[in-house]
Amino acid sequence: MIAKDAIKVLRSLGLTEYETRAYVALASVKSATPREVAGVAGMPYPSAYDALESLARKGWVDVAGRKPRLYRARPPDLVKKDSLASFERAFKELKELYESSAGRIEKPEIVYTIIGKANVVKRIQEMLSRAREEVFLVLPSNSEFGADLGKILAPLIKKGVKLKLITDSKIYLNGVKVRLHRPVLAVDVLVDEKEALISLPDFSACGWVENPTIAGHFRYFIKLLWRSSKSMKSSFAKKR
């Protein structure tokens, strides 16, 4: 039986429920008539026929011109290859469209809400990967990054990015200027004065903006917090 995750992926590629069921059924028997597919998939014959015809138009199945029509599932690796090529073309066009709009005036909706720990952590990691000059971090010591923070910041140090961290316990990281402030009530990230993020301490939700003007105001707030924090010397990944 095909895994539920695989079915979700097929649906995310644009297949309908009947198309997904028809392709899975056909793949399990290699080739079959619509009536046979309907029996394997447990679906009405008309729905099976329509789904197979649609899959043929999309290039997921081959059809033999005989009566009754015989359908054969195309190998999944070939379908995958064609799908990835289509995605690459689509995202290449989207990238060109996105970059062509870089000089246009943004709409007022410039602060975006991101929900879910995995999504928030991923956005922070993406922000850090784009850093070129300076990163300000405000993190509680028991944050999601925990003991991996040194490894996460190491590539930035190698690139020569200036790193400043405000946290609530004594932690020493090589190449990172660290200050102590208690309590840390939120997670803050500022990258190159272009991107800013403020998150709940548990990373369940955050606000993210990619706007130099707002990021500049955010930097002013973080600098005030930095000046009011206690200085600590740096040393690689040790806790006192």
pLDDT per residue as tens digits for the range 46-63: 999 999 999 998 889 998
State how far the Cα of 222 lies from the Cα of 238, in Å rounded to an integer: 25
Q: Chain-centre distance of CA 153, in angstroms?
A: 20
Q: What is the DSSP string of the chain?
A: ---HHHHHHHHHTT--HHHHHHHHHHHHHSEE-HHHHHHHHT--HHHHHHHHHHHHHHTSEEEESSSS-EEEEPPHHHHHHHHHHHHHHHHHHHHHHHHHTTTSPPPS--EEEEESHHHHHHHHHHHHHH-SSEEEEE--TTSTTGGGHHHHHHHHHHHT-EEEEEESS-EE-TTEEEEE-S---SEEEEETTTEEEEE-TTSSEEEEEE-HHHHHHHHHHHHHHHHTSEEE---TTEE-
Q: What are phi and psi of 130, to 5 degrees?
A: -90, -5
Give yes or no for a contact between 69 and 34, defined as CB atoms under 8 angstroms apart: yes
232: confidence class by pLDDT, cuts 50, 70, 90: low
Q: Model confidence over 105-160: pLDDT tens digits? A: 555 446 788 998 899 999 999 999 999 999 999 998 888 787 788 888 999 999 99
Backbone angles phi, psi at 224, to 5 degrees: -65, -40
Question: What pLDDT, on a 0 to 100 scale, did the predictor assign at position 96?
Answer: 80
Q: Which domains does the chain have, with CATH numbers?
A: 4-77 (1.10.10.10), 111-239 (3.30.870.10)
β-pair type (176-180, 162-167): parallel
Q: What pTM, to 2 d.p., does this model score?
A: 0.57
Question: How do residues 166-203 score in pLDDT, each as one tens digit?
Answer: 998 887 888 899 998 888 888 999 999 889 999 998 88
AA identity, residue 97: L
